[in-house]
């Protein structure tokens, strides 16, 4: 395996952090925080950096991860509430400040190119290095299905430390030994079970007591809240319409901006021409940016009407990529498949196949994909008296603050970022393009809050896309059908983690592949080799839900079915043979096979397909049941099994599996971004469709819990297996092998 020290460090979401001097000698920073970190309001007392108690009995937990519908505020609050033995109805959440204590350490470690089960000195050093870089950066970020994994230790410690603080306060109040007291349902009780005081009653008695950092946390067998389907904290506000999204931000004297971005990749503005009658009513200003033109008005409707209605003439310089199209990119990738130089090579097992082996080749492709978040992209900014304030749905307040400060020419301590609810994130809201535009407009109109809102067309045509990718496989099929096959693959695709640091920090592309697109598969192939080729190009690519797994799972798991058929073996049986030394994988695979009735008869023109993928610390297997009617593909039912270690909230895990399935299924059946004349052809949902409610399959989720396994993520692992499961089911139903996404029967 050829990995330089640079590749060990760079390869995560924030690979640019490796540029910091002295990272190797960094020490862990305190993640508990003292009582001054979490700002207390009137009637509240902070117990440490994560917990406040109100005199009314409320328990407020700092939530440093963005709530984008995945239920993370509830999951994080449960970690603290569990250790405090808090009454769930007393628990609240509050957005945490952009402080180092709330940094996400796991997000960089997870981006390294190693499978979760891999071990070894090099891997341990790489993960250690990643944690050191994260400690230096102190980046508050949400992504990579890392939120609960990162919070598992610090937030449980915060809850345990808060519990200890309350017990010490109660002991002092009652004049008894602290060891004789216990906590139950948000109150302290004595050895006889008699109430000493509620948490609210103790709020005023904490005085100068300071939190301890070595308080033991509960063992899994002691959990009272973790593992239960607790009601979600964010749901009441969403049901009642009081939840605040970015588009809900309203401020005094606010202005609104509609944006037209240059249609072509790499193009720029060449000015605009106003109508002879001048600016119509309500239009405040037309502002030219380097690659966009903004109309600022007293309402977004007026701004957008003037921008798109034809009275305002926009002039563009198409730039060097005006001739770019999808077919040319595909032809380039085909050439790279043949003779491109790998950026990374991974291999294991025998160097050469057995002499009696036959060879099975196949080539798979996946297109560019847009994120299509349901809430349009938006950002509100105010530059006033030397300070910048930003309100926006985002996945990293640290990055938004950093870029906002840079664009405004301010120190970061003069910038405040308010993170709203996100109407979908999927990686798109980690990008900083909206902040740059919003701050540029705020500089042009200081003292006025300006809300930048993109239309759906602007969003789809100016995204940071899931990379287009292609893979060429060759399997060596042994003469003995019970022997293990060999496997080689050449993978071509752009890399989001190579591009992303440049967009934020202004450095060049690293050229490294996305770490999770080159993880070793769990299968015990007789030999294995991967060559990863990373082309550079003008199409901007970004982190899309499950990142590299979103296409490599389709490639790998469909080709593995091809290998099984060529060997005359059942696809499930071959997977079981290749996973004989992977008990967690086998448990998940067997669970989904049993639930789906694998091997039992189905109606004509109906098939089952199976796929398994380990990603983000979790293992997910899915079986899709697909009926084919002419050229129509109907996914009737999906069975999904997940092994994610300890289940914090089973209702959230099931919801995330369903969410990941519908997201991946939309891409598998409909998703495709194509380029012509240097611009994206698709513009809105009529030509970039998604699975509709009437076509959504029934989903059954099986939780394969393991108290001893490391905690796994759940936000993204449900997406990768669905495309290959459907592709394999289509083959089972029709005998036709579809190797290109989205699926189309001809």
Tell me if the bond preceding 742 is cis, omega within 30° of 0.
yes
Confidence of residue 23 (pLDDT cuts 50, 70, 90): very low
Report if residue 122 sits inside a domain: no
In terms of average pLDDT, the best of 119-133, 136-150, 530-544 is 530-544
Q: Where are the beta strands (DSSP E) in 266-343?
A: 268-273, 283-288, 292-297, 313-317
| Of 240, 256, 282, the domain-final residue | 240
Report if residue 23 sits inside a domain: no
| Of 240, 274, 301, the domain-final residue | 240
Is the whole model's pTM more than 0.85, yes or no? yes
Q: Is pLDDT above 60 for 12? A: no
Query: What is the separation, in whole angstroms, between the first and last Cα of the chain?
Result: 41
The reported pLDDT for the residue numbered 17 is 36
Domain around 540: 326-368+464-734
The reported pLDDT for the residue numbered 423 is 97
Q: Do 337 and 206 belong together in one domain? A: no
Q: Do 619 and 729 belong together in one domain? A: yes
- Over the stretch 674-731, which tens digit does the pLDDT of each residue have? 999 999 999 999 999 999 999 999 999 999 998 888 899 999 999 999 999 999 999 9
Report if residue 17 sits inside a domain: no
CA dihedral 74, 76, 81, 87 (to 10 degrees): -10
Find out whether 529 and 346 touch, Cβ atoms under 8 Å.
Answer: yes
Q: Do 254 and 359 belong together in one domain? A: no
Q: Do 178 and 301 belong together in one domain? A: no
Report if residue 728 sits inside a domain: yes
Q: Do 331 and 480 belong together in one domain? A: yes
- Over the stretch 268-306, which tens digit does the pLDDT of each residue have? 999 999 999 999 999 999 999 999 999 999 999 999 999
- Over the stretch 487-544, which tens digit does the pLDDT of each residue have? 999 999 999 999 999 999 888 888 999 999 999 899 999 999 999 999 999 999 999 9
CATH number of the domain encompassing residue 506: 3.30.365.10
Percent of the chain with pLDDT over 70: 93
Q: Do 180 and 217 belong together in one domain? A: yes
Q: Do 264 and 405 belong together in one domain? A: yes
Q: Do 398 and 266 belong together in one domain? A: yes
- Dist CA 663 CA 549 (whole Å): 14
Q: Do 228 and 361 belong together in one domain? A: no
| Of 240, 255, 279, the domain-final residue | 240
Tell how far CA 335 is from the center of its chain.
Answer: 32
Contacts of 333 by beta carbon, 8 Å cutoff, 6+ apart: 468, 470, 492, 535
- Dist CA 433 CA 438 (whole Å): 9
Distances (CA, A) of 240 to 235, 432, 434, 493: 9, 31, 29, 44
- Over the stretch 309-319, which tens digit does the pLDDT of each residue have? 999 999 999 99
- Over the stretch 373-432, which tens digit does the pLDDT of each residue have? 999 999 999 999 999 999 999 999 999 999 999 999 999 999 999 999 999 999 999 999
Find out whether 464 and 377 touch, Cβ atoms under 8 Å.
Answer: no
Report if residue 251 sits inside a domain: yes
Q: Is pLDDT above 80 for 109? A: no
Domains held by the chain: number? 3
Report if residue 745 sits inside a domain: no
Contacts of 91 by beta carbon, 8 Å cutoff, 6+ apart: 58, 59, 60, 61, 77, 80, 81, 233
Report if residue 88 sits inside a domain: yes
Mean pLDDT for 159-178 is 96
- Over the stretch 542-560, which tens digit does the pLDDT of each residue have? 999 999 999 999 999 999 9
Q: Do 203 and 274 belong together in one domain? A: no
Q: Do 568 and 689 belong together in one domain? A: yes
Q: Do 173 and 252 belong together in one domain? A: no
Confidence of residue 600 (pLDDT cuts 50, 70, 90): very high
Find out whether 159 and 225 touch, Cβ atoms under 8 Å.
Answer: no
**Angle at CA of residue 308, ends 303 and 313, nearest 5°:** 105
Report if residue 15 sits inside a domain: no
Mean pLDDT for 631-636 is 97
Confidence of residue 111 (pLDDT cuts 50, 70, 90): low
Q: Minimal CA–CA distance to 418: which of 378, 375, 377, 380?
A: 380
Q: Minimal CA–CA distance to 396: which of 489, 279, 500?
A: 500
Q: Is pLDDT above 80 for 126? A: no
Q: Is pLDDT above 90 for 562? A: yes
- Over the stretch 217-268, which tens digit does the pLDDT of each residue have? 999 999 999 999 999 999 999 999 999 999 999 999 999 999 999 999 999 9
């Amino acid at each position: 395996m050829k990995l330089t020290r640079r590749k060990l460090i760079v390869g995560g979401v924030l690979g640019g952090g490796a540029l910091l001097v002295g990272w190797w000698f960094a020490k862990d920073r305190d993640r508990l925080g003292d009582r001054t970190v979490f700002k207390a309001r009137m009637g509240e007392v902070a117990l440490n950096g994560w917990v406040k108690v109100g005199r009314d009995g409320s328990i407020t937990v700092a939530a440093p991860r963005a709530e984008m519908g995945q239920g993370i505020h509830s999951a994080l609050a449960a970690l603290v509430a569990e250790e405090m033995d808090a009454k769930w109805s007393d628990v609240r959440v509050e957005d945490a400040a952009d402080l180092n204590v709330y940094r996400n350490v796991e997000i960089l470690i997870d981006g390294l190119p190693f499978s979760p089960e891999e071990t070894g000195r090099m891997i341990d050093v790489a993960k250690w290095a990643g944690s050191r870089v994260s400690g230096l950066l102190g980046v508050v970020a949400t992504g990579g299905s890392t939120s609960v994994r990162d919070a598992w230790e610090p937030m449980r410690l915060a809850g345990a430390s808060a519990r200890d603080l309350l017990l010490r306060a109660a002991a002092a109040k009652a004049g008894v030994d602290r060891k004789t007291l216990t906590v139950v349902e948000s109150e302290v009780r004595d050895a006889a079970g008699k109430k000493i005081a509620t948490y609210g009653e103790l709020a005023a008695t904490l005085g100068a007591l300071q939190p301890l950092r070595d308080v033991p946390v509960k063992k899994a067998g002691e959990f009272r809240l973790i593992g239960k389907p607790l009601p979600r904290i964010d749901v009441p506000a969403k049901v009642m319409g009081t939840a605040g999204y970015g588009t809900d931000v309203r401020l005094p004297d606010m202005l609104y901006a509609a944006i037209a971005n240059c249609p072509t990749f790499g193009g720029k503005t060449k000015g605009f021409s106003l109508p002879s009658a001048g600016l119509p009513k309500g239009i405040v200003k037309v502002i030219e940016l380097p690659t966009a033109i903004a109309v600022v008005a007293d309402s977004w409707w007026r701004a957008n009407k003037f921008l798109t209605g034809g009275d305002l003439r926009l002039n563009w310089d198409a730039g060097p990529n005006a001739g770019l199209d999808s077919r040319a990119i595909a032809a380039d990738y085909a050439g790279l498949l043949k003779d491109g130089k790998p950026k990374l090579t991974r291999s294991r097992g025998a160097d050469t196949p057995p002499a009696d082996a036959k060879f099975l080749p196949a080539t798979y492709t996946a297109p560019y994909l847009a994120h299509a978040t349901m809430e349009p992209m938006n950002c509100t900014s105010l530059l006033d008296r030397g300070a910048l304030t930003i309100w926006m749905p985002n996945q990293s307040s640290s990055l938004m603050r950093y870029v906002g400060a840079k664009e405004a020419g301010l120190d970061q301590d003069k910038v405040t970022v308010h993170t709203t609810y996100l109407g979908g994130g999927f990686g798109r809201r980690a990008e900083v393009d909206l902040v740059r535009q919003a701050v540029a407009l705020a500089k042009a109109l200081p003292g006025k809050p300006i809300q930048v809102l993109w239309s759906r067309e602007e969003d789809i045509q100016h995204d940071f896309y899931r990379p287009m990718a292609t893979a060429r496989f060759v399997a060596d099929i042994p003469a003995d059908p019970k022997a293990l096959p060999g496997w080689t693959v050449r993978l071509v695709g752009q890399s989001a983690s190579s591009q992303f640091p440049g967009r934020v920090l202004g450095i060049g592309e690293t050229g490294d592949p996305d770490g999770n697109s080159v993880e070793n598969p769990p299968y015990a192939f007789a030999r294995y080799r991967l060559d990863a080729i990373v082309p550079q190009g003008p199409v901007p690519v970004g982190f899309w839900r499950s990142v590299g797994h979103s296409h490599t799972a389709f490639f790998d798991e469909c080709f593995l079915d091809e290998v099984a058929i060529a060997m005359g073996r059942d696809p499930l049986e071959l997977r079981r043979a290749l996973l004989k030394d992977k008990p967690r994988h086998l448990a998940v695979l067997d669970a989904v096979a049993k639930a789906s009735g694998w091997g039992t008869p189905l109606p004509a023109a109906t098939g089952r397909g199976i796929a398994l993928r380990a990603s983000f610390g979790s293992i997910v297997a899915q079986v899709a049941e697909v009926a084919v009617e002419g050229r129509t593909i109907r996914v009737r039912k999906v069975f999904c099994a997940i092994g994610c270690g300890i289940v914090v909230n089973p209702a959230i895990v099931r919801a995330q599996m369903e969410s990941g399935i519908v997201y991946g299924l939309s891409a598998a059946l409909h998703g495709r971004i194509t380029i012509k004349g240097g611009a994206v052809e698709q513009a809105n949902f009529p030509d970039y469709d998604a699975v509709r409610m009437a076509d959504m399959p029934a989903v059954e989720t099986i939780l394969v819990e393991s108290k001893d396994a490391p905690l796994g993520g759940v936000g993204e692992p449900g997406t990768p297996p669905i495309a290959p499961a459907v592709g394999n089911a289509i083959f089972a139903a029709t005998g036709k092998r579809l190797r290109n996404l989205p699926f189309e029967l001809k």
